[in-house]
Each structure stands twice: as C-alpha cells, then as structure tokens.
Amino acid sequence: MITSGHTDSGLPVIPAVSESEGLSLIDKLEQTRALTRTEWAALIHGRTPVISEYLFARARKARIHYYGKDIYIRGLIEFTNYCRNDCYYCGIRKSNKNAVRYRLTKDQILSCCENGYHLGFRTFVLQGGEDGWFTEDRMTDIVSGIRQRFPDCAITLSIGELPRESYRRFFEAGADRYLLRHETYDSAHYSRLHPASLSASHRQKCLWYLKELGYQVGTGFMVGSPYQTAENLADDMLFLKELNPQMVGIGPFIPHHDTPFAGQPAGTLELTVFMLGLIRLMLPKVLLPATTALGTIAEDGREQGILAGANVVMPNLSPAQVRENYLLYDNKLCTGDEAAESLKSLNARFHAIGYHIAVSRGDSLNTEKPVSSE
C-alpha cells in the first residue's frame, strides 16, 4: 500500500515505490486501465529499468492486440509559423523577432496533399500557429478544397484554441480530427509555461467542444517541461482517462534558444517512452505517435517509441524550403527520415524492429464516449 507523507514545510512527499510494488502497479493498470493519483505519481517517480521493460512488454502486447504491427503515417503540413501567442517554450512565439515567418497559399497546401497522396498518405495534418490571417472563412475554404479533391482521406487540423463555432464550421467542411495538446493539466503549472492571456481551463474547454462536435480528438503534454513534477504527470494521466481521446501526442520538452526557457534542461527520452507505455496500457485503443521530438533527442528515438507502444509517425509534407522555419525547438529534424520523401528509409528502420508502415487512414479504435464533460 502506497501512502504519502509530508516534509517539514508541509509539502507532500512523492511516495516511494519499491520495484515489486511498481511491477504490481503495472499489473493493476493492465487489468483495470486505471490508477489513483498517488499510484501514478509513485510509479512515475519510482520507475526503474526493470519496471520499464516490464511495462513495455505489456504495452506492446496491447498495441499488437488492437493494431497489429501496422504503423500509421500522417502527412504533416506546417502551413504557417505566424502565431498570436507568446508561450514561453515555443520557437514561433509572437515575441521571437528572429523567426523567419511564412504562410502557405491554398494552392501550395493542396500541392502538398497531392504529393502526399502519391506517396501513400491518407491523412493530412494541417498544423500552424494561431495565425489570424487564416480566418474562419479561409480555413473553411481550404478544408473543403482538400475534402473535395481527396474524399478518401482524413483531414486533421492543429491550429489551436478557437471559438466553438469555428470548430463546427471546419467539421462541417470536412475536417475529421483535431489535435490540441493540453500541455499540462495543472493550472498553476500551466501559468508558469504561458502568459496570463492563456489558461489551462480554456484549453481544456476547447477539447470538450471538439469532442461534443464529433471530432476524433488528439491531446497530449510535454514531458520534462520546466517545473514539472511527477504529480503534474499524474494529473495529466487522470485528465486523459476522463477525456478519453482518440489520439495522445506526447514528446520531450526541448528548449529553443530564442525563448525564456533557452537555458532549461530538455526532457528525457527515458521518461517520455515510459509515459508512452503507461498511456498505451491505460487507453489501449488510442492512437499514439512516436514524435519527431523523440527522433530529435535520440537517433533511434522513434523506434524506442514504437517499442514502448506507439503506432503513428508524422513525416513532413511541407515544402522543403520552409521546413527549417517551423522551428518550435532547437535542432528539430527537417531533412532526414522525418521527411515524407524518405518513407522507404523510414519503413526499413521500422522493419528492422518488426513493424511496417500501413497505407491507410488509420482511424482510432478508441470510440467510446468520454466519462464526463464537467
């Protein structure tokens, strides 16, 4: 039984967990798909290589049960790096005067989709900063244009916090999915990563709007972000359980030299893949990407993500000349196997660990209704 103590200052102590207790918690998670907040924090804080390998074996079993050895590919189109926000960790934040800004035209976006379709992509992800130039009308026109030209493909948007009505219009125009990382559930931690104009509660409200409208929803969080604790990660897991999204995207925090967090240490591959394994066991039918950030901090980072339970990768379909300008963090991969043109090489790397790229929309099997919208 795990219990919490307190320090002399009154702050809670992260409970210790022995290796045997950690293994028991993995068994409990596999059987019940849930842990308490204290158990989550204890397991995350007390993880060991033995616990991790035990977790990854269980996570792979769950992933293969529902999705086999398929790896779904998403064609990422980073169509604007203008952003109205000033998040302290992000390289395309409004205050970064050194960012080389760009916007793609509708024709350029459609050309990216055309190229991707011929390469085998059946999902296109339009990702950008919160750029007011792309009005509701313009985005609706772009989405409907993609839907008309590629009726057998899924359209995913990742363009931030917007009014419910905007989300509704994009859905009716043909968007299927929406990605909006909650970044961190805890409001106090959120406020240390973002300016006062942004709040954790509003971001979470947007996710509930998206669920209510019928989107396949993706959320997620940074691992190892400044000031993050095991309790913060425990709260993130509880929120994921409640929201029950179709996709969860997590990645290590990586600092950018032109942000207030330039001198902060990066998150680790080790903790990120551990969290991937936990998410796979808690939500076994969820889509789980091995992100570009994983491949940035370790050459075999994405392979390690796949072996921890991930089943999605998102190669870049953006025009080659703008890829290096969508720099959310330092040293981001933009010319190697993360590029759509390198699918053959990427598939060979996955074959080497027993997996393969599938040409498919790759819809989530996690279709149960969320627990609550309160």
- DSSP result, 13-71: EPPP--HHHHHHHHHHHHHHS---HHHHHHHHHT--HHHHHHHHHHHHHHHHHHHTTEE
334, pLDDT greater than 60 = no
Indicate the pLDDT class of residue 325, thresholds 50, 70 and 90: low
Going by pLDDT thresholds of 50, 70 and 90, the confidence category of residue 274 is very high
Task: Tell me whether strands 12-13 and 5-6 are parallel, antiparallel or unpaired.
Answer: antiparallel
- Phi first, then psi, for residue 184 (nearest 5°) are -160, 135
pLDDT for the residue 126? 97
What percentage of residues in the chain have a pLDDT greater than 90?
78
- Asked whether residue 242 carries a pLDDT value surpassing 90, the answer given is yes
Q: Half-sphere exposure of residue 109, counting CA atoms within 13 Å on the CB side?
A: 28
| Single pTM value for the model | 0.91
Listed range (41-45, 125-129, 154-158, 315-319) with the worst mean pLDDT: 315-319
Encode pLDDT of 335-363 as tens digits.
444 455 578 888 899 999 999 999 899 99
Average of per-residue pLDDT values in the chain:
90
Structure tokens at 266: 């990066």
pLDDT of residue 4: 39
pLDDT for residue 12: 56
As a dihedral over the C-alpha atoms of residue 157, residue 292, residue 103, residue 362, rounded to 10 degrees, the angle is -30
For range 105-113, the mean pLDDT? 95
131-165 residue pLDDT tens: 999 999 999 999 999 999 999 999 999 999 999 99
pLDDT score of 326 more than 70: no
Residues in the chain, total: 374
Q: What long-range pairs does 143-150 form, CB within 8 A, spacing at least 24?
A: 143/170, 143/173, 143/174, 143/175, 144/173, 144/174, 145/106, 145/110, 146/109, 146/110, 146/113, 146/174, 147/173, 147/174, 148/174, 149/110, 149/113, 149/114, 150/113, 150/117, 150/124
Helix (H, G, I), strand (E, B) or coil at 178: strand
**Where is average pLDDT lowest: 150-164, 195-209, 303-317, 319-333?**
319-333
User: Cα torsion for 206, 227, 264, 316, to the nearest 10°?
Assistant: -30
Mean pLDDT calculated for residue range 230-237: 97
**Residue scoring higher pLDDT (63 or 369):** 63
Token couple for 126: 């339009």
Per DSSP, which regions of 144-275 are E strands?
Answer: 154-158, 177-179, 216-219, 222-223, 247-248, 251-252
Q: How confident is the model at residue 229 (pLDDT cuts 50, 70, 90)?
A: very high
At residue 325, the 3 state secondary structure works out as coil
Contact assessment for residue 283 and residue 240, using Cβ atoms and an 8 Å cutoff: yes
Confidence band, pLDDT 50/70/90 cuts, at residue 169: very high
- Report how far residue 69's alpha carbon sits from residue 364's, in angstroms, rounded to the nearest whole number: 15
